[in-house]
Amino acid sequence: MDLIKRFLSYTAVDTQSDENSETVPSTAKQLNLARQLKAELEGMGLEEVYMDDMGYVYASLPANTDKKIPVIGFISHMDTSPSMSGKDVKPRIVEKYDGGDIVLNKEQNIVLSPSLFPELLAHKGEDLIVTDGTTLLGADDKAGIAEIITAIEYLQQHPEIKHGKVRVGFNPDEEIGMGAAHFDVERFGCEFGYTVDGGEVGEMEYENFNAAKAVFRIQGLEVHPGYAKGKMVNASLLAAELIEMFPASETPATTEGYEGFYHIVGLSGEVDHASVTFIIRDHDRAKFEARKDFARSVAARMNAKYGEGTVVAEVSDQYYNMKEQIDKVPYVVDIACEAMKMAGVTPVKVPIRGGTDGAQLSFMGLPCPNLFAGGMNFHGRYEWVPIQSMEKAVSTVVRIVELVGKRDW
């Protein structure tokens, strides 16, 4: 099947995940795409095609040589972001983009413009797939799925490329941070792998944030406001005071690159009680630990001022920087860089200011850097992907398999 037809067939399936759900997958509709992928992989004649009850899909392209070659894998996620609807996606191809504004929806005056998204200009002359402005597109990460399967199909059609066993895996719920939670690394059986879930062409990510969550539960004392002097302790005011204790210069809006931050993501309060939730991020493990200690110290200082037990801090780790694991197998990055160059792509190593399934998988025993899939402006109505970038992603996957097959192990 043609790469673009394959991609568009996936975008037609609504797979939005739900961060408030307690089921796996978080939405039953993700199983619709899982079943479609299972059928497609079976139709291609792949081996070990398997879909579990949670919607994880696995398959194998068998080796075509007796040479001892490591089993490698490629992974992408099926779900789309809860941030915007992925139902009834109406994609459109803008051929030979001219560098100007793209009207996505005339009736609603929704325009994709290089004045707001200057990265568009780097793709002038290319063919862009865009939305109609009422939904996201789903290139994150249905582009990755389409690219992986198309690459596998290419390898089937070109047996002159000698390779070992290649595994593919597609999972639900990445967008809510649960994609790797039930990924069967043992069944996958790879020495290393790659998620194909990045953005701009050439990007390769193997450094991500160390991540923690800090929840502050604040107990106040409510009395009638007419008789409150010297008695009332307003938990909402304490929440505001607590927030002010965090450095204003260390937020997502004031940091970039390797700079860490504290980010308030939840706030609720009354006089009697209040709750404040921060996420804590830093690439450097020592700085990460120091940030968690700082969060605990904020609670300690509040308790010293207002009494023990006024503020309870619950600080819990979420995930860690995959670089700790990738540094043990640097050839995984070297192979990907060489493959990109063979595909006519300049590798760009960028730190992820977030997390990825690959980070969790790396600590589960599967070293797993993240490769570009080509999509841009994820999670919203302005999402778009250049067809040429998708084609280069396919070529990169093929060349990785080829290089692993040629390498002396």
**Cα–Cα distance measured from residue 104 to residue 333, given in angstroms and rounded to the nearest whole number:** 38
Catalytic annotation present for 66: no
Phi-psi region of 357 (alpha: psi -120 to 50; beta: other; left: phi over 0): alpha
Q: In what order do the strands lie in the sheet with 384-386?
A: 92-94, 128-130, 384-386
**Cα–Cα distance measured from residue 30 to residue 27, given in angstroms and rounded to the nearest whole number:** 6
One of 14, 140, 147, 174 is an active-site residue; which one? 174
Q: In what order do the strands lie in the sheet with 261-269?
A: 261-269, 273-282, 210-219, 311-319
**Cα–Cα distance measured from residue 179 to residue 9, given in angstroms and rounded to the nearest whole number:** 22
Q: 80 phi and psi, to 5 degrees?
A: -115, 165
- The candidate with the shortest Cα–Cα distance to 197, out of 215, 219, 170, 220, is 170
**Cα–Cα distance measured from residue 140 to residue 55, given in angstroms and rounded to the nearest whole number:** 18
Owner of token pair 């040629």: 406
Catalytic annotation present for 174: yes
One of 40, 79, 141, 153 is an active-site residue; which one? 79
**Cα–Cα distance measured from residue 144 to residue 191, given in angstroms and rounded to the nearest whole number:** 21
Q: Say which amino acid occupies 229.
A: K
Catalytic machinery residues: 79, 174
